[in-house]
């Protein structure tokens, strides 16, 4: 009996802690980004969408906490599917938007003049709109599969599809794993190029602090992938049942770590919008 209860309580506690941290952190971060920063900066556009993705995840975590704490799901299959899809697709959103931020910083540091026509808010909004549209389209067949899996369950259950009589498998898992590793490769390449560029211009001591902040952005991105995204990706291919939960905890923690990236990415994170707009025009 204890062997079945303990993992559920651990899940409830872990997701509860992530919710307590992630919800206010992302709500405040989104408020600061929208109120104090100009959406004319592509970097801010990507960060706003990343914060929205993380905030959606945190908002739906209480339902997951309730399920693991009580062992019941009274909200029906539709809410279960919505909660599951938002939780799973947050990883895809985060990895893509983090990579967008990484590429934007690469262009700003390595190709500042040649990339001016690319690094516009218009292009940034087009990119994030394309990402959201693709995720919605991909989730349509995913939601249908989840619905069928729930119908095959002999008990009222949500999130734990290994209880279903028909095993739930999807080719989208392989696509997700390939996406994460591709995004990781892009981040590694960007980090290497930016590190080499900054190292070759370290003679300007007045800008050493800014260079350190830039490298902290890339360091945070790589930490996010290696700690949060990669373990879950490998686990999805090699682990079955409840054994995947520790890696799911790590992946969910990304919503608590992302606000640190906003702070390092924007040296003027706490400044008023008027001052930020001036600096954006000068960039």
At 76-93, the pLDDT tens digits run: 778 888 888 888 888 889
pLDDT at 207: 54
Domain extents for the chain? Answer: 2-269
Contact 8, 71 (CB under 8 A): yes
Local confidence band at 282 (pLDDT 50, 70, 90 cut-offs): very low
Over residues 199-222, mean pLDDT: 70
Name the more confident of 210 and 223.
223
Task: Name the fold adopted by 2-269.
Answer: Rhopdopsin 7-helix transmembrane proteins (1.20.1070)
Residue indicated by tokens 């007045």: 206
Q: Among residues 180, 170, 98, which one has the least CA distance to residue 138?
A: 170
Q: What letter does residue 120 receive in the DSSP assignment?
A: -
As a three-state string, the secondary structure of 208-235 is HHHHHHHHHHHHHHHHHHHHHHHHHHHH
Percent of the chain whose pLDDT exceeds 70: 81
Q: What is the pLDDT of residues 130-184, one digit of tens each?
A: 999 998 888 887 778 777 777 766 555 677 665 554 444 567 788 888 999 999 9
Residue 277: predicted pLDDT = 44
Q: Indicate the average pLDDT of the chain.
A: 81
Contact 149, 168 (CB under 8 A): yes
Where residue 249 falls among pLDDT bands split at 50, 70, 90?
very high
> CA-CA distance, 201 to 109, in Å (whole number)?
11
Contacts 24+ apart (CB under 8 A), 64-73: 64/11, 64/15, 64/159, 65/12, 65/15, 65/16, 65/19, 67/158, 67/159, 68/8, 68/9, 68/11, 68/12, 68/15, 68/159, 69/8, 69/9, 69/12, 71/8, 72/156, 73/156, 73/157, 73/158
């Amino acid at each position: 009996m204890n062997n079945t209860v303990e993992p559920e309580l651990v899940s409830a506690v872990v997701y509860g802690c992530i919710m307590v941290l992630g919800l206010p952190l992302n709500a405040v971060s989104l408020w600061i980004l929208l109120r104090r920063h100009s959406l004319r900066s592509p970097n801010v556009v990507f960060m706003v969408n990343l914060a929205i993705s993380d905030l959606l995840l945190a908002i739906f975590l209480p339902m997951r906490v309730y399920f693991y704490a009580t062992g019941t799901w009274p909200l029906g299959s539709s809410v279960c599917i919505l909660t599951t899809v938002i939780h799973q697709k947050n990883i895809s959103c985060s990895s893509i938007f983090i990579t967008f931020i990484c590429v934007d910083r690469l262009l700003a540091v390595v190709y500042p003049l040649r990339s001016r026509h690319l690094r516009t808010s218009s292009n940034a909004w087009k990119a994030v709109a394309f990402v959201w549209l693709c995720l919605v389209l991909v989730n349509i067949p995913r939601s249908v599969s989840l619905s069928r899996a729930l119908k095959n369950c002999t008990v009222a259950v949500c999130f734990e599809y290994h209880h279903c009589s028909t095993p739930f498998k999807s080719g989208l898992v392989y696509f997700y794993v390939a996406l994460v590793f591709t995004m990781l490769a892009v981040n590694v390449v960007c980090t290497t190029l930016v590190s080499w560029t900054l190292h070759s211009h370290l003679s300007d001591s007045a800008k050493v602090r800014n260079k350190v902040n830039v490298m902290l952005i890339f360091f945070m991105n790589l930490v996010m992938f290696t700690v949060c995204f990669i373990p879950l990706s490998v686990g999805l291919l090699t682990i079955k049942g409840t054994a995947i939960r520790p890696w799911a905890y790590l992946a969910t923690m990304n919503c608590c770590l992302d606000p640190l990236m906003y702070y390092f990415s924007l040296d003027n994170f706490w400044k008023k919008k008027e001052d930020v707009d001036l600096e954006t025009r000068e960039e």
